[in-house]
Every structure is written in C-alpha cells, then in structure tokens.
Structure 1
Amino acid sequence: MDGYIEPKCDKSCKGGWYGKNCSKRCSENCFNQRCNHRDGRCTFGCKQGWSSASCSRACDAGFYGKNCSKSCSNCLNSLCDPFNGTCIQGCDDGYMGSKCDESCLIGWYGKNCSNLCNQNCINKSCNNAYGECTYGCEAGWMGLNCSDECMPGWFGEDCVKRCGKCALNHTCNRTNGACLTGCVEPFTGVKCDKNTEISLKKATTNFPQSDFQSGYVIALSAGFAVSLLLNIFTCIVVLRRRYCKRDEEESRHYAECSDVMAVKTENTHTYQELNAINSNVNTYHNLSFGTSP
C-alpha cells in the first residue's frame, strides 16, 4: 500500500518520502521538503517561485514568492524573478525600487521617477506616471501638464476665468485678471468687472422694503431729535435775553436812584449853608442894634 513500509505495511513512510514502499522522494520545492506519505502533496506548501500541489511548476509570468501568491504588478512587462520578485526589465513609469513597489516621491514622475513635475502645477504635485498635475494649474497656466499659457481673454487657475471689459480691446493679466489699460465705460475696478450703471439701478429699484422702513424710522427719529434740540436752544436764548433785560433795568434803576440821592445831598448842603448865612446875618443885626446910641 502506498505510503507504508512492507511487509506488514503497518508503518508510514519517514519524513521526506512517499509512495509505494516509500520509494519516492518529496519534491525539493516543498517547504521543508515535507509531503504527504501517500501522494506526495507538499505538506507546508511550496518554496518561493513554485506552485501546484507537489510544487513542481514554476510561477507563471507576473507572479512570484511562496506558492506564487505575489504579483509583479509594477514591473515593466510584468516580468520579475519568481523567487524574490526583483523586476527583470525595470519598473513601469511612476515606480521605483528593486521590486518596483514604491511610488515616486511628490514632485517627481516618469520612468524610474526621474522627471520633475512642472513647476506650474498647484503644490508642485503631479501624477506619478504621466506628470499630469494632480490639483490643476497655477494662475496663468493650463493643460494637462500646465505647460501652456492662458489664451487671450482668460486668466486665473487653469485659465477658467474671463477677463473684464479692458480698454483698447486689450487682454488682462493672465495671472490676476488686472486690466493694464483701464476699463471700457461704464465698467470700473482693477479687473473692470463692475458695471456702475447696473449697480446704481439695483440700488434704486431693489431697495428692500425692510431697509426702507428702517431708514424712514431712523430719519424720523433724527428729525425729532434735531427739533427737540432746536426748541431747547430757543428757550435758553429767550430766558437768557429776559434775564439780561431784567439786569439792565435794575442797573438803570440803580443809576437813577444814585442821581436822586446825589441831588438830595447837594440840596441839603445848600440849605445848611443858607441857614448858616441867615444865622450870621441875624447875629450881625443883633450886634448892630446893641451898639446904637
């Protein structure tokens, strides 16, 4: 019986042997060279580069490793060493390394990652195989590799924005859209993209009702406040004039009183002087009468 030792067939083949009378050697391609003692199937699978139940078949093109379970996917023409996976003819564009299992570093692309991405790519990043810019082009550039300048009349990233109404039929700056020759009326702004007539019309015809009401309330409140301030100012002026008039009248009255008092005082002095004269006259008469014979 296959897999056992005669004459009693009560013992299985030793390790590494199989078949009738245990006369066949397990394939050297079996891992640890161990196989089923009856049919020779590799017990632990195959060594690197081999496949099939008995590990007697080399890996198909494009595969390598234990049981040929790994792919040579990034190798040029999918050719690699069936044992260690080293790419025989080099790598596909966009990959590098002995097994071509490493993508190009950011900013590089092509065969063996030897080409630099176009500097006009946003973030200087491009497809590792073909160099197509990953995030589009910087302002002023267009194309898959961002190597073409914007066409006249266009500007910005990937040249997708139209120039404004630049004067003299000139195009705008392809990077920022600025019109270097001024604007065609009635357009204004650095990019000549603002129509003053339309803006004015919108401002007058599309004025929101709520804004109008708010403006009316504000204007009414402001008018009331101004009127109140004017009334207060008028009252202050009237009161000040009355006060000044009263002070003026009092000052005039005081002056008149002072004049009267001055006259009275002067009359009193005159009367006193007359009395003194009369007294002297009387004394003189008395003296005259006293001396007569």
Structure 2
Amino acid sequence: MHTLLVIVILTLVDEGYLQKSCPDCLFEICDTNYGICLAGCKEPKWGKYCHIDCPEYCADCYQNSGECSKCHQGKWGKNCERLCPELCLNQECYQTNGSCVRCQSGSWGQRCENLCSDFCLNSTCDINSSKCLNGCEKGRYGDNCNLWCSPGCFDDICLQTGTCISGCKELFYGNQCDKRCSSNCQPSDCHKQTGMCVSCQIGFYGNFCTSICPNCINSTCDKRDGYCIHGCESEWSGYKCDVRKISSISKTNVALVISICSGVVVAVFILIFILRKGGRIWWPRSNRLKFTSSQESDGSTLERTPEISGHYEAPSDVTSQIDHGYTSII
C-alpha cells in the first residue's frame, strides 16, 4: 500500500501537482500549496511538515503523533526511554515489552535472567525453553544435558537423545546400551540391538540362554529348542530328557501289589463257597422253607416244600427254626 502511494505521489510530481522542494519530507515531496509532507517524514522527524524532531532515543517516530516507532539500540518503551536488560545480546530487545531478542552465551529467559545448564556445549541454550542448542558436554545427554550417558556406552559418548555414538561396551546392548546381556551367553557378549546370545554356556538354551537343559548327558542341548544332543541320563527319556523312566524296583512293587490283590479276591470267593456248603446262611423270612408233615405207623417223617429262589437244595436232615425273622438252615 505504501509503495502504491509513493508511485502515485511521484506521478503527481511529474504532472506538476506537487513540488519537490521540502527537505524534511520523504522523497522531499510536499503539497505545492501548503507544503504538507504527503509521503511521510525523513528519520527522525514528525509532524505535517516533518519539522519536529522525534524523542531523543527514537530511531524513528510516527508522523502524526510523534510516538516512537523504532528505538535506538539498547532502548525500549513508548518513547524509547527504558534500557534493555543487561544480558540481551547486543543490547537488542523488543520495543513493546523489553524482552530480549537473543541472549548472551550462558543465559536464557525473556530478559535472559536465567543461566543455561553448565553441561550445555558452548554454554548455549534456547532463550525460551533452556534446551541446549549445540549438544552436551562429553558423558551427558538430555534437553538440559543433566543426565549421564549409560555406563555401557563405548567411550562414554552419546547423543543428546542418549543413543550411544560408538556402540556398546561388552556385556551391554540396546540403543542406549543400558541393558545387560544374559550371564549365560557364551561368549559373554550378545547382539547389540536385540540382546540375543550368539551361543549359550553349557547347561542352558534359548534366545537369551535362560532355560536349563534338563537331564542331558554332559548337560549339553541344542540352543534353539533344548534337544539333548548326546542323549539322556539314566532314568530319563524324551526329546528333552524330561520324562522319568519307570525303574525295575517300581515294576516289582506294582507286580507285588497286583498279586496280593488277586490273592485277596480268590480267598474271599473260597470263603463264600465254604459258607454256602457247610456253614450257616441266613435267608430272609420271605424266602424261608415251608414244610408239611405226614404221620406214618412206624414214626413221623418230614416232607419239604421249598419256595425259595435260586439253585440251593437243603440237605435231607434239615430242621427249621425261626430266629429274628430269618430261617436258619443247618
């Protein structure tokens, strides 16, 4: 917009409507009749005719009000009467609030009133966040370089993120070399990113060599799945030698138990047989024998009429007697 105004004014000058004879006016152009500066004033002047000096510390001021539009270095405020903070780099600060444009080395904050971390490289940090801008001193990391690099970092050097620059020392792995390889790795080192063991010490298997080879001869098994390479120790079997064999003593004990049980069963059956043939057997009242008698001239005889179920036949010399609701046969 200002450029367009200048072009218009210059055109009017060429046409003779404006004169070019006002020394304090911008481009020395003013109104022919009244001498009013139409394009503005040269620094540091203000007023219609640009005949008034701007305040002492103004590098420039507004034509109509005389308020400072720009301050001399080291000043700020409406009339540039106030000093910029001492630690502002080159004494430069914003006119509106006096905050520093940049800070001197080693300080940060709106007025550079705070100190950067002692571990910032070159003592340089961001003016707003205090983050170290050029990295950290050796052995340190973090936004403010207040953290130590992992002791697993080779040469104790890491990036500001904590990632080890030169890799990990032996026994350590991970981006920050802050994790230890398994003590069962053989050799003791491991993959620097994953931590997986290259091989395992005798007696262990798995990616991190944390599983124990079970009952293998010489405690030797395949690193991948625990297969016993040289076979199993006595009394053990299976792919991983984790199944216990049944010993000969155990087999003998089992056979002995079976024999004893069989003998007991046979003895019970024999006892039952003897009791049914010659012993006393109790029959329920509902199944007892019913007898009728007939008188003959030479004596009395018993005639039996069995009404019992089953195949038992009482001897010819049976007698019946009632005992507690049961018939006893002897």
**Higher relative contact order structure (alpha carbons within 8 Å, sequence separation ≥ 6):** 1
Q: TM-score, normalised by structure 1?
A: 0.36
- 1 or 2, which has the higher strand percentage? 2
Richer in helix (by share): 1
